Chain A
Amino acid sequence: MRYGMVIDLKRCSGCKTCSVVCKVANNIPNDIIWNRVLTEGGNAPDTAGGTWDNPEMQHWPVACQHCENPACTKVCPVGATWKDEQTGIVRQDYDKCIGCRMCLAACPYTGVRSFNWEEPAYYADFALGDADAAKHEKHTVEKCIFCTQRVARGEQPACVADCIGRARHFGDLDDPNSEVSKLLASREYTQLHAEFGTKPSVYYLV
Chain B
Amino acid sequence: MNDAKGSAASHRGLTVGIIACAVVAVIGVALWMVQLSGGMIQTGMRNLDSWGFYITLFMFFVGLSAGGLIISSIPNAFGMKGFGDISRVAIWTSICCTCVAIGFVVVDLGGPLRLWELFVYSNLSSPLMWDIIVLSTYLILSIVYLWAYRREDAGKMSHTAIRVISIIALVVAVGVHTVTAWIFSLSAAHEFWHTALMGPWFVASALDCGTALVLIVVIALQKAGRLTIERSSMVNLAKMLAVFTCVDLYFFACDLLTSGFPGGEGANVVAMLVTGPLAPFFWTQIACMVLACVILFVPRLRTKGGVVLASALVIAGVFCKRCEILVGGFQIPNIEFADVANHMTITNWESGMSLFGYQGLVYWPTPLEFGVALGVVALGGFLLLLGLKYLPLHLTEKTA
Q: Contact residues of A with B, CB < 8 Å?
A: 31-32, 36, 38-47, 60, 62, 71, 74-79, 96-102, 104-111, 113-119, 138-140, 192-193, 196-197
Contacts and interface: CB of A to CB of B under 8 A. Distances in A.
Contacts of B121: 78-79, 96
Contact of A102 (B117, B126, B342): B126
16 contacts: A31-B345, A32-B344, A38-B337, A41-B338, A46-B338, A71-B187, A97-B114, A98-B118, A100-B110, A100-B128, A104-B50, A111-B47, A111-B335, A115-B40, A140-B110, A140-B111
Most interface-central of A62, A74, A101, A192 (chain B CB within 10 A): A101
Nearest to B40: A117
Contacts of B46: 117
A106 B187 contact: yes
Nearest to B117: A78
A110 B126 contact: no
Given A45-B339, A77-B128, A100-B109, A196 B189 contact: yes
A139 B50 CA distance: 12
Contact of B338 (A38, A96, A197): A38
A62 B335 contact: yes
Contacts of A45: 338-340, 353
B151 interface: no
Please report whether the interface of chain B is mostly helix, strand, loop or mixed according to DSSP.
loop
Contacts of B38: 118
A18 to B, nearest CB: 14
Contacts of A102: 126-128, 183
Given A77-B122, A100-B108, A118-B38, A43 B335 contact: no
A43 B340 CA distance: 10
Given A101-B51, A115-B50, A117-B46, A43 B111 contact: no
A35 B121 CA distance: 29
Interface of B: 36, 38-41, 43, 45-48, 50-51, 105, 108-111, 114-115, 117-118, 121-123, 125-129, 132, 183-184, 186-190, 329, 333-335, 337-340, 342-345, 353-356
A181 B126 CA distance: 33
Please report whether the interface of chain A is mostly helix, strand, loop or mixed according to DSSP.
loop
Nearest to A117: B41
A180 B46 CA distance: 35
B187 A105 contact: yes
A105 B50 contact: yes
B344 A31 contact: yes
A50 B48 CA distance: 26
A78 B122 contact: yes
Given A32-B344, A105-B190, A197-B188, A43 B355 contact: yes
Nearest to A49: B338
B383 to A, nearest CB: 24
Most interface-central of A31, A98, A140 (chain B CB within 10 A): A98
Contacts of A108: 188-189, 334
